[in-house]
Structure 1
Amino acid sequence: MYIKKLRLQDYRNYKSLEIGFSPNINVFLGHNAQGKTNLLEAMYFLALTRSHRTSNDKDLIRWGSEFARISGVVIKDNSSQLKLDLVISKSGKKAKLNNLEQRKLSSYIGNLNVVLFSPEDLSIVKGNPGIRRKFIDMEFGQISSQYLKTVSQFRQVLKQRNVYLKKLQHHQTKDLVYLEVLSDQLSAYCAEVVKTRLDFLKKLQVHIEKIHDQITDHQEVLKIVYSSFYDSTDKSLEDIYGIYKQTFKDNYQKEIQRGVTLFGPHRDDIKFLINDKNVQDFGSQGQQRSVALSLKLAEVELIKEQVGDYPILLLDDVLSELDQKRQTHLLSSIGRGIQTFITTTSLEDVDSSIVKDPNILNITNGKVQQEEV
């Protein structure tokens, strides 16, 4: 899988751009604040219909414009060609696949798979649980459109239930039968979301354990543990459904008092353990960086395993953040026919012994010029 061509219109600091890429390694070279990261963000958005830098899509529209457009031509299986098109306006966004408008974004996402490496990856390990939940939902959503649909349905029912709990809290209604109906619906979606997360994390564990073992010269064992209010280990879909249904039944008065749903995958977390110790609490900065790197490299392998093709790698100013050992592990993964985009202010950060014959693109104030190597 690789991006053959990218077109931008009124996106960030790009008024109009059409550019082709190498299926191997592409380097965006330039000073800071010239638009290098904007190009990676555009590819990320083209794949996932959201930015990794802002939750407000309006930020992507060039100042003074009514809308922004990102279009791309993607080659899959070295033969089939897909045309992806996204229009971002102040009223929302529209997605097209091969010129056909997609009614739901869940049917669009997954046609282009990307894995982004950035200095902010450390927050997945160090940050709050919401960051980790967002990470697993975004990444697993690339692999399974059904997971995306289930998460969307879960959020809709969760919102309805929270609204109704507020009504009960403020004595605007006394009907507990409808709360029971919503609780049953939510229990079913909770079970599906959690079971899918557990299944994917189990597969991710196989890859991350092996990769981290190599990075740390067999000194550390890394494990991912799903953290919820109950022990989810070896639970079936029916078991999880029953646990949620009983939990909502036992705690409805507390939830009415608080006016919010207190249990569910929207409150769960994942923990990273090195030699059975929580990295977030006890890991050094170096260990936390190694975990973040192992996680992203494991994600690459999981996507390859599940969809049959490697994702596109987006390396946003990360080479200068890594020591030689970790950089070598990252760059060595590139030499397997994976299309890679690297942003950097200097080619000195790019190991020429590993990254050979890159397609270098100079970025200056929203202008792109290809460099002959």
Structure 2
Amino acid sequence: MRLTRLLLEDFRSYPSAELRPDPGLTIVAGPNGSGKTNLLEAIFVAVTGRSHRAATESELVRHGAAFARVRLDLTNSDGADTARVELILPGPLGSAELRKRVTVNGLARRPAAVSETVRAVLFRPEEMLLLVGAPGDRRRFMDAILAQANRRAAHDLAELVRVLAQRNALLRAIRREEAGSDGLAFWDEQLAEVGSRVMAARLTLVAQLDARIPALHDAVAPPEEQGERVRLTYADTLKDAWPERPNPRDPADTLPDAEQLAAAFRRRILAVRQKELWNGVSLVGPQRDDLRVELAGREVASHASRGQQRTIILAMKLAETDLLGAGGAPMPIVLLDDVFSELDAERSERTLALLLQRGQVLVTVADLAALPIGRPAVSTWQVGEGRLVQAPRVA
């Protein structure tokens, strides 16, 4: 479904705001710090239930307000079906009875369930460092897709956080000689069961991304980079405890099921028991895995040029868009936060054209000159001093 109207009340810098995006491309322009990113963040938070910037949800509430409200009005391509998603976020000054609430067409829903109605892909300038950044960045990339595309995986990811918190707390208590090791058996099994399901979902996701990346890479790349083989593989921490590990370069090898992975987890957890007790932290699990990216058989982080890295990242975000819209799911709203300032004109033009073939795109820019040239007249909104105003269309 596409977004027809965004309404904000006391969200971040906006006392109130209304945006009516076009079905295709909509531009939000304004100086740095004017609140452009806040608009995209509001959409993403309403769709996914989480912010990519806020440490706590109360940060999303305008200073001095009791709560923030975000409303998305949606429709399908022919206008025959409509939906409304509303998010209420309590602020630090709100009453104790006020809780975070998500509704779809007036009915309370869990945040993970919103993806059945609407999905979103957010592309930030920081993601240009995805391939050379910390492993946690690449784990978040995978998990953000799973959280919208797979409700079971979304539940398992949340459960994994809880299991690791409990298990790590026990490991620290054992190290301080405040607890015995008897209770570890329960949390070992919880980590094996939940961790294996998360890893199985990630392995499937990486295989799906890897199958899509080559064609998308060539669609974005300049002629001199086309035809270079890009491979995505999952780097786990199970080591010798998983002898059945499939060869990612052998298409005949099938992906493992969660039961096989759980057995490998149990073996690996026992193998590192003493190290975990010494360090007071879990050393095995999806929280320590990584996404490995290769170009022509070599690690991208250390051997690819900056331009090659950006081409691959763009292909990965396009693959994310396609995966989230696959299998009859709603095509995601694409949110580009000042990305074109980080790209050359050729990559910008190719990427925007490919995204517009897929559906609705909202772009923020500080300078309209950073936009790819040759676009037809598009809807443009100006942001400044906490106000959002529609401007004359630009060519």
Q: Shorter-chain TM-score: what band?
A: over 0.9
Partner of 1:214: 219
Aligned residues of 1:37 and 1:343 also touching (Cα < 8 A):
yes
Aligned residues of 1:207 and 1:302 also touching (Cα < 8 A):
no
Partner of 2:86: 85
Moved more, 126-135 or 56-65: 56-65
Q: Write the distance in 2 (CA, Å) between the matches of 1:110 and 1:264.
A: 29
Q: Write the distance in 2 (CA, Å) between the matches of 1:121 and 1:295.
A: 11
Counterpart residue type for residue 311 of structure 1: P
Partner of 1:125: 131
Residues 1:33 and 2:33 are matched in the alignment: yes
Partner of 2:156: 150
Tell me the SS of whatever aligns to 2:170. Answer: helix
Residues 1:365 and 2:365 are matched in the alignment: no
Aligned residues of 1:40 and 1:314 also touching (Cα < 8 A):
yes
Partner of 2:366: 345
Residues 1:228 and 2:236 are matched in the alignment: yes
Partner of 2:193: 188
Partner of 2:252: none
Question: Following TM superposition, by how much is the alpha carbon of 1:265 offset from its aligned partner in structure 2, in angstroms?
Answer: 0.1
Partner of 2:261: 240
Tell me the SS of whatever aligns to 1:334. Answer: helix
Aligned residues of 2:24 and 2:361 also touching (Cα < 8 A):
yes
Unaligned residue ranges in structure 2 (runs of 5+): 93-98, 247-254
Partner of 2:44: 44
Counterpart residue type for residue 85 of structure 1: E
Residues 1:297 and 2:351 are matched in the alignment: no
Q: Write the distance in 2 (CA, Å) between the matches of 1:77 and 1:140.
A: 25
Q: Write the distance in 1 (CA, Å) between the matches of 2:187 and 2:327.
A: 33
Partner of 2:205: 200
Moved more, 259-268 or 241-250: 241-250
Partner of 2:103: 96
C-alpha spacing 1:135/1:337, structure 2 compared with 1 (3 Å): closer
Q: Deviations over 1:1-22 (max 9, x none)?
A: 2111111011111101233222
Residues 1:314 and 2:335 are matched in the alignment: yes
Question: Following TM superposition, by how much is the alpha carbon of 1:175 offset from its aligned partner in structure 2, in angstroms?
Answer: 4.7
Moved more, 89-98 or 259-268: 89-98
Partner of 1:2: 2
Residues 1:264 and 2:285 are matched in the alignment: yes
Moved more, 107-116 or 281-290: 107-116
**Residue correspondences, number:** 370
Tell me the SS of whatever aligns to 2:100. Answer: strand
Moved more, 261-270 or 112-121: 112-121
C-alpha spacing 1:287/1:311, structure 2 compared with 1 (3 Å): same
Q: Write the distance in 1 (CA, Å) between the matches of 2:190 and 2:366.
A: 52
Partner of 2:171: 165
Question: Following TM superposition, by how much is the alpha carbon of 1:337 offset from its aligned partner in structure 2, in angstroms?
Answer: 5.5
Question: Following TM superposition, by how much is the alpha carbon of 1:40 offset from its aligned partner in structure 2, in angstroms?
Answer: 1.1
Counterpart residue type for residue 369 of structure 1: V
Unaligned residue ranges in structure 1 (runs of 5+): none
Q: Write the distance in 2 (CA, Å) between the matches of 1:337 and 1:171.
A: 57
- Runs of 4+ aligned residues of structure 1 deviating over 4 Å after TM superposition are none
Q: Give aligned-pair identity as a percent.
A: 29
C-alpha spacing 1:194/1:114, structure 2 compared with 1 (3 Å): same
Question: Following TM superposition, by how much is the alpha carbon of 1:171 offset from its aligned partner in structure 2, in angstroms?
Answer: 2.5
Tell me the SS of whatever aligns to 2:355. Answer: coil
TM (norm. structure 1) is 0.93
